[in-house]
Amino acid sequence: MTALSVTERVRVGIGLLPVPLRNVTQAAMEIATIDRLFPGRFVAGIGHGVQTWMEQAGVAGARSLAAG
């Protein structure tokens, strides 16, 4: 958010927000808050995460395209 707060045109994005590790409601509220503060300049990447990291956290899906 620092880059967004000190510039007027830079767009910032999250590389990946892993769904198995996040509460969907909380993530939506956080993304909406950033978008209201900096309209059109924040891009959220949402996915299943890095499989080995999800395995370490105990939330890996049975298949690579399935969220646990």
pLDDT given for residue 32 in this prediction: 94
Owner of token pair 């969907």: 24
Distance CA 23, CA 20 (A): 8
pLDDT given for residue 36 in this prediction: 93
pLDDT given for residue 22 in this prediction: 84
Q: What residue segments make up the domains of the chain, in order of their start?
A: 2-57
Which residues of the chain fall short of a pLDDT of 50? none
Distance CA 6, CA 33 (A): 17
SS (H, E, C) the chain: CHHHHCCCCCCEECCCEEHHHCCHHHHHHHHHHHHHHCCCCEECCEECCCHHHHHHHCCCCCCCCCCC
